């Protein structure tokens, strides 16, 4: 049995399975996440967020899989009685993209739905996440990387019902420099977008967690859709929610209905660990419980 301090992971994501009363933890788990041949994704399971079993091998690429490096940020969603993984991959001379994989089981094995990513093939993209809108239309929300566009973007595209492809052109929701709290990662124009995660708060407002660089390091901000739908307009909170060297956040409810936020921290390889923080609502806005 492991504790969370025994688990090295970036980009942690929790799937809560109410039938088995089990939490499944996914994330970037390769030993060298930045260079060299990628291995795959591992996952862990727990009934209390304190004691964990694993690692379980949930994805290992077949010999003909197009990606061979930078296996990043898997997120798993239960939809239409299957488990779908959204994850980012890269290979030499091929743009990074988010591919969708599927399994009958939360611990896999996950296999690609198609032979290519669903993000634009000539765009450097990462951190795709799923959002189901009020009309039950599925969307993929993802980052158009600063490495290609300098001022990183968060974009949205509709998905077909079978998740095999996107419908229509990408829609830019906002750019990293639109937030007051972000600072460039290089020069004066290079701003990062990272780790979008969407949720509806208790007031029914559509909000998004996302990460970038603040004056204090890797941080998590909040942006809210004024229209309540994915097209926005999106308005940023003036200050980040987390400004202490931790990011790539998502939120979930425990089985006791407590609201939790998870990030990885510190943002330094190989020291990254999953962190679980209690979240409250103050004056209609999310805040970390002290």
What is the tens place of the pLDDT at every residue in 104-114?
999 999 999 99
Element (H, E) at 12: strand 10-17
pLDDT at 203: 80
Mean pLDDT of 111-140: 97
**Does 282 have pLDDT greater than 90?**
no
Mean pLDDT of 169-183: 98
pLDDT at 1: 93
Domains of the chain and CATH, by start: 4-288 (2.115.10.20)
Mean pLDDT of 202-210: 91
Q: How far from 197 is each of 108, 112, 130, 249, 263, CA to CA, in Å?
A: 22, 22, 8, 7, 12
Q: What is the pTM of this model?
A: 0.97
46 token code pair = 């727990």
d(CA 212, CA 181): 9
Mean pLDDT of 197-216: 93
Mean pLDDT of 236-248: 94
Band (pLDDT 50/70/90 cuts) for residue 201 is confident
Mean pLDDT of 179-200: 96
Predicted confidence (pLDDT) per residue in 50-103, tens digit? 999 999 999 999 999 999 999 999 999 999 999 999 999 999 999 999 999 999
pLDDT at 178: 98
pLDDT at 37: 95
Closest-CA residue to 174 (of 151, 200, 201) = 151
Band (pLDDT 50/70/90 cuts) for residue 281 is confident
Q: Are 51 and 1 in contact (CB under 8 A)?
A: yes
pLDDT at 204: 83
Q: How far from 194 is each of 105, 115, 251, CA to CA, in Å?
A: 28, 25, 15
Q: How far from 25 is each of 87, 252, 275, CA to CA, in Å?
A: 14, 12, 11
pLDDT at 22: 98
Predicted confidence (pLDDT) per residue in 32-41, tens digit? 999 999 999 9
Average pLDDT, the chain: 96
Band (pLDDT 50/70/90 cuts) for residue 284 is confident
């Amino acid at each position: 049995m492991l504790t969370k301090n025994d688990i090295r992971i970036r980009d942690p994501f929790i799937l809560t399975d109410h039938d088995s009363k089990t939490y499944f933890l996914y994330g970037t788990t390769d030993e060298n996440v930045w260079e060299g041949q990628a291995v795959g994704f591992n996952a862990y399971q727990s009934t209390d967020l304190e004691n964990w079993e694993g690692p379980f091998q949930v994805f290992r690429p077949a010999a003909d899989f197009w990606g061979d490096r930078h296996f990043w940020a898997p997120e798993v969603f239960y939809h239409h009685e299957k488990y779908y993984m959204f994850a980012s991959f890269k290979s030499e001379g091929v743009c990074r993209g988010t591919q969708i994989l599927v399994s009958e089981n939360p611990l896999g094995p996950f296999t690609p739905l198609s032979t290519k990513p669903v993000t634009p093939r000539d765009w450097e993209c990462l951190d795709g996440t799923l959002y189901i809108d009020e009309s039950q239309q599925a969307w993929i929300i993802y980052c158009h990387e600063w490495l290609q566009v300098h001022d990183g973007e968060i974009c949205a595209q509709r998905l077909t019902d079978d998740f095999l492809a996107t419908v229509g052109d990408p829609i830019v929701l906002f750019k990293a420099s639109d937030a007051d709290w972000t600072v460039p990662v290089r020069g004066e124009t290079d701003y990062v977008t990272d780790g979008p995660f969407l949720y509806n708060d208790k007031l029914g407002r559509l909000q998004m967690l996302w990460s970038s660089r603040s004056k204090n390091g890797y941080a998590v901000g909040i942006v809210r859709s004024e229209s309540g739908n994915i097209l926005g307009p999106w308005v940023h909170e003036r200050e980040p929610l987390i400004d202490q060297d931790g990011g790539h956040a998502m939120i979930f409810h425990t089985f006791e209905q407590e609201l939790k936020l998870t990030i990885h921290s510190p943002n330094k390889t190989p020291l990254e660990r999953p962190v679980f923080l209690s979240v409250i609502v103050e004056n209609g806005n999310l805040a970390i419980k002290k």
